[in-house]
Amino acid sequence: MKVFAYSLRPYDELGYLDALSHELGFEYGWTEDYPTTANAGLAAGADGVCVITSPLTRELLGAWRDLGVRGVATRSIGYDHIDLAAARELGMRVAHASYPPDGVADYTVMLTLMALRKVKLVQRHAAAQDFTLEGKIGRALGSCTVGVVGTGAIGACVVRRLRGFGCRVLAYDPAPCAGLATYVSLPELLAESDVVTLHAPGLPENRHMIGAAELARMREGAVLVNAARGSLVDTAALLDALESGHLGGAALDTIEHESNLYYLDRGLDVLPNRDRAALMALPNVIVTPHMAFYTAEDVEGMVRSNVEALVAFASGEATPHEVR
């Protein structure tokens, strides 16, 4: 059995992949390059391919299928970058990653604290040797009502952490978890929360679940945190809410239209993403490069779950990582 990994990072993921090849007994090939139809041939002879969050189109999947590839796994929980309909038509099984929720949960709390304490503004001023206090007063997290949208593994982990700060926690999820939090409707959560943090999946039906109407329902001065998927938030509407002063700030680890930006060095490029530039320019908005997952534990979990899924696909077995 052979796996071919695209966009593999040699400084962290490669070591885990190599160790797993000895543990589970498979061959592998790899490249740092993102998959395209031009380099699809690199996967020749592989039973499955492993990717990160780059678009997998019908054309690309078809090219792999013609080479004998029967399974695709993405090193991410989200899989909205994969044309699932095309994969099914081509007879290709698809898997996504699983990893401990703690890394993203910790990062979410960190972003929340940074937004409430205006860390971006403080750091900007300190770099210019402006050590004044005016305009930099923050809020204690424990004094806030925090609304958690989506209480799967990561959202539930965030709720448990927030309890330690003494927050009042509200939650919204179509499938409530008994005993976890006080569940309310999404409009009620938005209206009553000082901080709203998103942990919903990036499904088509969730696109722009936070749009102009939802942002208008949020409290004056509230903070929006998104360490889930960029598609959940209508960026244009968010910019309007921030520029009008209705929102007090935002902390975003993921935004719309971030494909082909992360995790590359684009320091010399003119980026075709005006929304990102506008968000980055605001002193009350934190934008980080989709790295809430980036802990040793989570990276190992991503690679392991992908490989285990591809091994299962090759042997015709079931796997809990399969996207159905």
Q: What token pair was written down for 103?
A: 């890394």
Q: Which residues contact 125 (CB under 8 A, 6 or more apart)?
A: 131, 132, 136
Which member of 258, 276, 300, 321 is catalytic? 258
Question: Within a domain: residue 320?
Answer: no
Question: How far is Cα of residue 6 from the mean position of the Cα atoms in its chain?
Answer: 19
> Is the domain of 84 the same as that of 118?
no
* End-to-end CA gap in the chain: 23
The identity of residue 100, as a single letter, is P
Q: What token pair was written down for 179?
A: 């005993």
CATH at 279:
3.40.50.720
Q: Which of 50, 92, 44, 46 is nearest to 70 (CA)?
A: 92
Question: Within a domain: residue 13?
Answer: yes
Phi, psi dihedrals of residue 125, rounded to the nearest 5°: -70, -40
pLDDT digits (tens, 9 = 90+) for 285-322: 999 999 999 999 999 999 999 999 999 999 999 999 99
> Is the domain of 300 the same as that of 156?
no
pLDDT at 263: 82
> Is the domain of 192 the same as that of 242?
yes
pLDDT at 182: 98
pLDDT at 78: 86
Ranges of residues in the chain whose predicted pLDDT is under 70: none
CB atoms within 10 A of CB 129: 6
Sign of the CA dihedral running 140, 145, 148, 149: negative
Task: Give the CA distances from residue 255 to residues 168, 175, 217, 230, 291, in Å, rounded to whole numbers and listed in that order.
Answer: 27, 25, 21, 4, 12
> Is the domain of 307 the same as that of 267?
no
Q: For 79-235, where are the E strands, in sequence order?
A: 93-95, 145-149, 168-172, 182-183, 195-198, 223-226
> Is the domain of 119 the same as that of 217?
yes
Q: Are 81 and 73 within 8 A, CB to CB?
A: no
User: How many domains are contained in the chain?
Assistant: 2
Q: Which residue has the tokens 């160790």?
A: 19
> Is the domain of 121 the same as that of 89?
no
Which member of 290, 300, 304, 308 is catalytic? 290
Active-site residue, 229 included: yes
> Is the domain of 263 the same as that of 305?
no
Which member of 65, 125, 219, 229 is catalytic? 229
Q: Which residues contact 84 (CB under 8 A, 6 or more apart)?
A: 94, 323
> Is the domain of 142 the same as that of 18?
no
Question: Within a domain: residue 323?
Answer: no
Question: Within a domain: residue 324?
Answer: no
Question: Within a domain: residue 321?
Answer: no
Q: Are 232 and 207 within 8 A, CB to CB?
A: yes
What H or E segment, with its residue span, contains residue 278? Answer: helix 274-281
> Is the domain of 256 the same as that of 130?
yes
Question: Within a domain: residue 322?
Answer: no
Q: Which residues contact 107 (CB under 8 A, 6 or more apart)?
A: 227, 253, 291, 292, 293
Question: Within a domain: residue 148?
Answer: yes
pLDDT at 4: 98
> Is the domain of 72 the same as that of 169?
no
pLDDT at 128: 97
Its domain, for residue 34, covers 2-99+295-314
Instruction: Report the alpha-carbon distance of residue 30 to residue 20 in Å, rounded.
Output: 14
pLDDT digits (tens, 9 = 90+) for 216-244: 999 999 999 999 999 999 999 999 999 99
pLDDT at 231: 94
Question: Within a domain: residue 125?
Answer: yes
3-state SS class at 198? strand
> Is the domain of 266 the same as that of 142?
yes
Omega of the bond leading into 28 within 30 degrees of 0 (cis): no
Instruction: Report the alpha-carbon distance of residue 65 to residue 148 in Å, rounded.
Output: 40
> Is the domain of 37 the same as that of 108?
no
